[in-house]
């Protein structure tokens, strides 16, 4: 068996003294999508209860959580009742308003912490943070698309980062939304218009050989465990496939673990993180990180003895992390939109773990489920 990165303690900082949750206690989850659903399932397996808070009707997580509150993130009464009914709060949705988090945090701990969330919510702040701890990112330049001088700011940014480049909104992007690729300086006005006045960032295009990601976790007492890096393929900005192990050399693999650990320690983080990396001829460059369980970690359900969802639940509940030993080589494919039509055929395959999110409406680009195929016993990358 080929283990992930074994548990080890890396310069743990001053850590909160907290008692671990006991079975029967409750984890609050902000956001009721598929990630919340899978977290709730893992919590239940460990005897922990979950309470999901989600503004949208009929959330996928609502079917498996013990309690669901359907209310807006601005509903102070509902938030107070939610916070009063749980022992710790975590999230699968990153754009919860700061006021809601203030109200919750006054009553109960939020894990991962507020700083991790604030840094990852803003691409500009995130890149500055990463560079500040010595990690390489794409070259970048802020672009205030609402400024009367937006055109000259964009021109300046293009000179600074070079072309091709990608103009992205600083906040609220996912699955490649809020992004445009810029090949030449001619049509910059159109690109600015597409940002609709949002604060943006221009990123130089990174010439990568492959995209990899590391799913890592840090416990309340500062221990770190990393799953084997996976190799990711995106189509139309959406993750389609994760293959494990990633085809990288031992130096790159170790560097990927070091990068994840550096981010976790710098943020005094508790929980699972997904770190997206570009593997380039000059080494690993950080694309971004997500302060939560991550789509590129879904393979862990079928390829490792513990999955990312249980690891996150353990971390936020103050339990010890598990050693994320990988037993199989795997390939995870997202079932996006009409891909769900393949489900009957997939269900007949051997060596396959199928996971559907219970979404009743199929829409183009909507993640409906995923399938992980076991390719064989774990081999070294
Ligand atoms: P997701 O929700 O899938 O993480 P996102 O909307 O946060 O997506 P990014 O991760 O920034 O968006 O970009 C999506 C994909 O676009 C990346 O995985 C990569 O394939 C490509 N991409 C983004 N930025 C760059 C860049 N600077 N250079 C090269 N490719 C990039
Ligand atoms: Mg991304």
Average pLDDT value for the chain: 92
CATH number at residue 337: 3.30.470.20
CB proximity list for 3: less than 8 A, separation 6 or greater: 323, 324, 325, 326
Q: pLDDT tier at 18 (50, 70, 90 boundaries)?
A: low
pLDDT tens-digit series, residues 228-267: 999 999 998 899 999 999 999 999 999 999 999 999 999 9
For 163, the domain range is 139-204
Task: Look at the chain and report how many structural domains it folds into.
Answer: 3
What is the pLDDT at residue 150?
A: 85
Residue nearest to atom 25 of ligand 1 (CA): 205
Q: Is the CB of 114 under 6 A from ligand 1?
A: no
pLDDT tens-digit series, residues 86-145: 999 999 998 999 999 999 999 999 999 999 999 999 999 999 999 999 999 999 999 988
The ligand whose atoms approach the alpha carbon of 279 most closely is: 1
The ligand whose atoms approach the alpha carbon of 167 most closely is: 1
pLDDT tens-digit series, residues 143-173: 988 888 888 888 999 999 999 999 999 998 7
Domain end, chosen from 160, 188, 204, is at 204
Torsion on CA atoms 52, 53, 55, 59, rounded to nearest 10? 0
Domain end, chosen from 204, 234, 260, is at 204
- For residues 118 and 254, give the distance between their C-alpha atoms in angstroms, rounded to a whole number: 28
Can you name the residues that pair with 30 across neighbouring β-strands?
53, 91
- For residues 106 and 293, give the distance between their C-alpha atoms in angstroms, rounded to a whole number: 25
Residue nearest to atom 15 of ligand 1 (CA): 237
How many angstroms does the Cα of residue 287 sit away from the middle of ligand 1? 7
Examine residue 3 and state whether it is found in any structural domain, yes or no. no
**Inter-residue contact 69 to 53 (CB < 8 Å):** yes
CA-based max dimension of the chain: 61
Whether residue 92 sits in one domain with residue 37: yes
Whether residue 172 sits in one domain with residue 148: yes
Instruction: Please give the structure tokens belonging to residue 207.
Output: 């010439």
Whether residue 335 sits in one domain with residue 261: yes
**Inter-residue contact 302 to 243 (CB < 8 Å):** no
Percent of the chain with pLDDT over 90: 83
Whether residue 194 sits in one domain with residue 216: no
- State yes or no: pLDDT of 339 exceeds 70: yes
- State yes or no: pLDDT of 5 exceeds 70: no
How many angstroms does the Cα of residue 238 sit away from the middle of ligand 1? 9
Atom of ligand 1 nearest to the CA of 176: 6
Whether residue 355 sits in one domain with residue 216: yes
What's the whole-number mean pLDDT along residues 207-216? Answer: 98
- For residues 31 and 53, give the distance between their C-alpha atoms in angstroms, rounded to a whole number: 6
- For residues 235 and 153, give the distance between their C-alpha atoms in angstroms, rounded to a whole number: 30
């Amino acid at each position: 068996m080929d283990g992930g990165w074994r548990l080890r303690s890396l310069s743990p900082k001053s850590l909160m003294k907290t008692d671990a949750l006991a079975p029967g206690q409750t984890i609050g989850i902000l956001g009721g999508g598929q990630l919340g659903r899978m977290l709730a399932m893992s919590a239940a397996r460990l005897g922990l209860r979950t309470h999901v808070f989600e503004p949208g009707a009929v959330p996928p997580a609502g079917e498996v959580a013990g309690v669901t509150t359907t209310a807006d993130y601005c509903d102070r009464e509902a938030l107070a009742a939610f916070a009063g009914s749980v022992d710790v709060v975590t999230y699968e949705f990153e754009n919860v308003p700061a006021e809601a988090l203030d109200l919750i945090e006054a009553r109960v701990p939020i894990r991962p912490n507020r700083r991790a969330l604030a840094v990852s919510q803003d691409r500009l702040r995130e890149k500055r943070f990463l560079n500040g701890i010595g990690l390489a990112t794409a070259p970048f330049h802020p672009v205030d698309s609402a400024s009367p001088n937006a055109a000259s700011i964009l021109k300046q940014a293009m000179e600074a980062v070079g072309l091709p480049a990608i103009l992205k909104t600083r906040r609220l992007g996912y699955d490649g939304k809020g992004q445009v690729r810029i090949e030449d300086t001619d049509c910059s006005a159109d690109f600015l218009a597409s940002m609709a006045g949002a604060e943006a960032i221009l990123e130089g295009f990174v010439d990568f050989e492959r995209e990899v990601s590391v799913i890592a976790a840090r416990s309340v007492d500062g221990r770190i465990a990393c799953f084997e890096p996976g190799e990711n393929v995106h189509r139309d900005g959406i993750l389609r496939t994760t293959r494990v192990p990633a085809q990288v050399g031992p130096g790159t693999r170790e560097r990927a673990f070091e990068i994840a650990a550096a981010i976790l320690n710098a943020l005094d983080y508790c929980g699972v993180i997904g770190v997206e990396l570009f593997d380039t001829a000059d080494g690993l460059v950080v694309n971004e990180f997500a302060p939560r369980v991550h789509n590129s970690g879904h393979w862990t359900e079928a390829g490792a003895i513990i999955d990312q969802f249980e690891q996150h639940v353990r971390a936020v509940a103050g339990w010890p992390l598990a050693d994320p030993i990988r037993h199989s080589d795997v390939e995870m494919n997202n079932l996006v939109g009409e891909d769900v039509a393949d489900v009957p055929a997939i269900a007949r395959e051997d060596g396959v773990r199928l996971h559907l999110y219970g979404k009743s409406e199929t829409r183009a680009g909507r993640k409906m489920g995923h399938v992980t195929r076991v390719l064989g016993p774990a081999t070294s990358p």
